Amino acid sequence: MPPPEGVKEPVHETPSVRRALKPGVDRSRGATMCSGACPTERPSDHRMLEDNLSRWRPDRSGFYEIWYLKLNHLLTGAALWVRYGIVAPRDGSVAPWGELWGIFFDPDDPAANRAGLERFDVPAIRTGGEAIVRIGGASLGAGRATGRLVAGGTELEWDLRFAENPTTFHHVPGYLRALGILPTQVCTPNVDLAVHGSFRVGGRSFELGGDPGQQGHIWGRRLGHRWTWAHCNSFAGAAGAVFEGITAQVRVGPFVSPPLTSMFFRLDGVDLTLNSPGFMVRTRSDHGLAFWRFVADHRDRRFVGELSARLEDIVVVGYTDTDLSKVYCHNTKLGSMRLLVQERSGRSHETRRALESHRCVALEYVDRTVHPSMRVSVP
């Protein structure tokens, strides 16, 4: 499928480009902060464990919590996404449950994509102790994620190891989080992982040698109303560069917010967190199924992003919200991205740098309905 109008198809990464990414090198080291880079707050100190700690309590209703991890296997182009979750419906008569999700993305044969979900009763949920969370026999801990999922003809197994990042990307600044008015909280304790270990899909095994990954944590009273999210730490010829962004609408009482956008960039070892209220509302963004275009300004710098994906690389899964309604995630980890870094020159902006990634980008479009061109793999 060609990219949506206005989106330039990024160049293909050759094997030499893939080698330039140096997947065997530990890329999880923290970047140096430049003075004044973040308009609202500096990323927290080494708090990966704290920012991943569970907020769920067994007696709490109307609450959900999610930990997810995704990675791209550079040697084959395949990708893996796993998700540990807890859902406690608002209706107290409905017992909470745990969830274990997994999606495998095959770059050569979309028919070989696999998605599965297993649900577990409360006794199978554990938080704290040696692991951050345990769902059945699967667990996420400090520097390790393990699990086995057998559901709907899908068999996935993973044993992943990584060095935790020293900083967390918070999508919303601390003073807004402290108000407690937002129905959901989002953070990325591990924005740039070098993943080791292995995973298996059916009879196929994949060995990892520092392949690029990311791990996030989400919790709150209800899921967002509608959003597009993306992440990339595998830009051709630009080892260490990272992008993460989200543009989302949330429901507060009877009202649905306008689209609010926050972003994180790591370029040349310098972190830039853009999550101030002013940035959230003024950033220009257009998004939908299989595309996201944005223009984001910060001081004299401008970021122009164009993201796209092939429809056949998208897997649709249905999440259950705390009111038992459904939210549908149109999910791929094989998207593409072109990012222009520009600087003001008089009345215009000039491009100083162009970064590209081909089929190594996480791109998710989430809505309350399924896009009519897609089918649901896990309802």
Bridge partners for 228 per DSSP: 247, 365
- Rounded to an integer, the average pLDDT of 237-264 is 93
Bridge partners for 366 per DSSP: 227, 329
Is 374 a domain residue? no
Lowest mean pLDDT among 32-41, 51-60, 149-158, 216-225: 32-41
Residue 355 to residue 313: CA distance in whole angstroms: 22
pLDDT of 153: 85
21-52 tens-digit pLDDT: 333 333 333 333 332 333 333 334 346 678 99
Q: Assign residue 346 the CATH number of its domain.
A: 2.40.370.10
What proportion of the chain, given as a percentage, has pLDDT over 70? 87
Domain interval for residue 164: 15-20+47-369
Residue 187: pLDDT band with limits 50, 70, 90: very high
- Rounded to an integer, the average pLDDT of 194-205 is 97
pLDDT of 47: 62
Is 109 a domain residue? yes
Average pLDDT value for the chain: 88
Is 223 a domain residue? yes
Is 38 a domain residue? no
What string of DSSP letters covers 68-121? EEEEE-TTT--EEEEEEEEEE-SSTTSPPEEEEEEEEE-SS-GGG-EEEEEEE-
Q: How do 79-88 and 301-308 pair as beta strands?
A: unpaired
pLDDT of 110: 97
- Rounded to an integer, the average pLDDT of 320-340 is 98
pLDDT of 254: 85
State yes or no: pLDDT of 68 exceeds 90: yes
State yes or no: pLDDT of 10 exceeds 90: no
Is 376 a domain residue? no
State yes or no: pLDDT of 329 exceeds 70: yes
Is 39 a domain residue? no
Number of domains, the chain: 1
Burial status of residue 311 (CB atoms within 10 A of its CB: 0-12, 13-18, 19 or more): middle
Is 35 a domain residue? no
pLDDT of 253: 80
Residue 367: pLDDT band with limits 50, 70, 90: very high
Is 209 a domain residue? yes
Q: Comparing 130 with 124, which gets the higher pLDDT?
A: 124
72-106 tens-digit pLDDT: 999 999 999 999 999 999 999 999 999 999 999 99
- Rounded to an integer, the average pLDDT of 340-363 is 97
Nearest alpha-carbon partner for 99 in 113, 116, 74, 111: 116
State yes or no: pLDDT of 363 exceeds 60: yes
